[in-house]
Structure 1
Amino acid sequence: MSVNLLPVLLAGLAGSVHCAAMCGGIVGAFSAAPRGRAFPVAVVTQTAQAAVLDSTARVLAYNGGRIASYAAAGALAGGVAASAGMLGAMEQVQAAAYWGANAMLVALGLYLAGIWNGIAVLERAGSRLWRRVEPLGRRVMPLDTPLKMLALGAVWGWLPCGMVYSMLVTAMLAGSALDGASVMAAFGLGTLPVMLSLGLAGERMRAFLRKPLFRFGAGMTVAAFGVAGLARAAGGLPAHWLSTLCLTSGVGA
């Protein structure tokens, strides 16, 4: 069963306002760098450039570890579902699966927009796993190398997050471990632009993303993907280019 990755990527981009709230503090701390005012001008320039490169390497390493954890979780979800025969070969089962995936997109959008917090239940359910994983992040302290940032990102990729869990439903329906990993990797890449900006711009970016109107718009965008997918799955939208923005199966296409 194939999954269109474009809406997953776009959902990650729009939904990354939630990532800013969940991980923005630690990622924003990466932007702190020594000013070097006590050095001569030539040394200051060199030090500033080195600080920028070091900060960029840390941010990239952290997000690389985070996305790797997403992909691992997607592979696990997709592989378990496939091995359990949850999807089967019946068209009815596949169609119902895509209805569920698009419904989760709608729920996620409402959650991001602050309209409905039902997905928060998933975050509370994941807190048990997080209590076991979180201590691993302390072992890489202090965060003085990109390799340690990579390890920290891999740990924080398991932070209880309703947005991630909703995407894991799609990964589970992808039909295989590889496809599940692809879904979650696409989602993680969608969050990358905002997370990189947070790491390099710090609190200024967080303040912008926390604006209620921006969060509402981002949430409605994600919900719109789900609504379009539901309409497409129901046969209410023709099979033209709009289908590229929908999570839908090939059933009845």
Structure 2
Amino acid sequence: MLSIDYLSAFIIGLLGSGHCIGMCGGITTMLTSAISPQQKGSDKFKLVSAYHVGRIFTYSLIGAIVGFSSSIAIKSIGVPLGFLRLFAAVFLILLGLYLGQWLMWLSKVEKIGKFLWRYLSPLSKRFIPINNAKQALALGAIWGWLPCGLVYSTLTWSLASGNALSGALIMTSFGLGTLPALLSISLGSFGIKSLLTNIKFKKIMALMIILYGIYSLMFAYQQLF
């Protein structure tokens, strides 16, 4: 089931990229413009790539922490793994409703991360202008903490994985799924943006996520009962 989780997390990142563009598109453009003008085209690509490596590293780190926490809960408290999968499936349905703009409950969940983000975001000023890959990696790692309902929903899968490694790999897969859209924006290719931000396309993608959430819910229910 976990191998399916990795693939599904990647697809969710891919399908949710329209939200990523709306949420992070401005940040992506800002970070790209922060690269020193002296950098050549090939060097700029390396620095942009470093942003995303840093961002995905943060997702993986948070996934590992969440997965490790759930393993402790399962072993120490006896929380059933099926219950955690049920919880993750419900969040997946809420994510689809959120992306389709039919029910915006996840926007309230995003507020949880805003407290930490207030303290982390000012750190980015220390790394601008960007002259090397270390600075770009650091900025990307900070960017990964940006409050996002899409990220939080996928983190519930890390929670349901029951261990740190699987939790990290799920979030890595998700981060890789978001990469094509955000990387294309970073490099100034806006063709994919018009598709992913198209209202009809976004709603179709949201429906697909909801359907998969219902399937996951049924699977988790069978595990419990």
The answer to whether the superposition gives a TM-score over 0.5 is yes
Offset, 1:107: 0.7
Q: Which of 37, 50, 54 is 1:61 aligned to?
A: 50
- Number of the residue aligned with 1:221: 208
* Partner Cα separation in structure 1 for residue 92 and residue 76 of structure 2: 19
| Aligned counterpart, 1:44 | none
Q: Deviations over 1:48-95 (max 9, x none)?
A: xx84322321221110000000001011111122223378667xx222
Cα distance between partner residues in 1 of 2:83 and 2:106: 20
Structure with a larger share of its residues in helix: 2
Q: Which amino acid aligns with 1:24?
A: G
Q: Give the conservation status (yes or no) of the 8 Å contact 2:67–2:162.
A: yes
Residue 106 of structure 2 aligns with an amino acid whose one-letter code is I
- With normalisation by structure 1, the TM-score equals 0.78
Q: Following the alignment from structure 1 to structure 2, what is the Cα–Cα distance between the partners of residues 211 and 28?
A: 20
Given candidates 101, 110, 121, the residue that maps to 1:114 is 101
Q: Which residue of the partner structure matches residue 24 of structure 2? A: 23
How far 1:233 sits from its partner (Å)?
Answer: 3.7
Give the greater-gyration-radius structure (CA). Answer: 1
2:172 corresponds to: 185
Q: Residue in 1 aligned with 2:9?
A: 8
The CA deviation string for residues 121-148 of structure 1, in whole angstroms up to 9 with x for no partner, is 1111110010111111111111233321
Q: Which residue of 2 aligns with 1:72?
A: 61
Matches within 5 A, 1:1-253: 2=2, 4-29=5-30, 51-85=40-74, 93-203=80-190, 205-234=192-221, 251=223
Alpha-carbon distance between aligned partners in 2 of 1:31 and 1:77, rounded to the nearest angstrom: 30
Identical columns (%): 36
Count of residue pairs brought into register by the alignment: 220
| Aligned residue type for 2:27 | I
| DSSP-derived class of the 1:116 partner | coil
Distance 1:11 1:88, change over 3 A: farther
Q: Structure 2: any 5+ residue segments left out of the alignment?
A: none
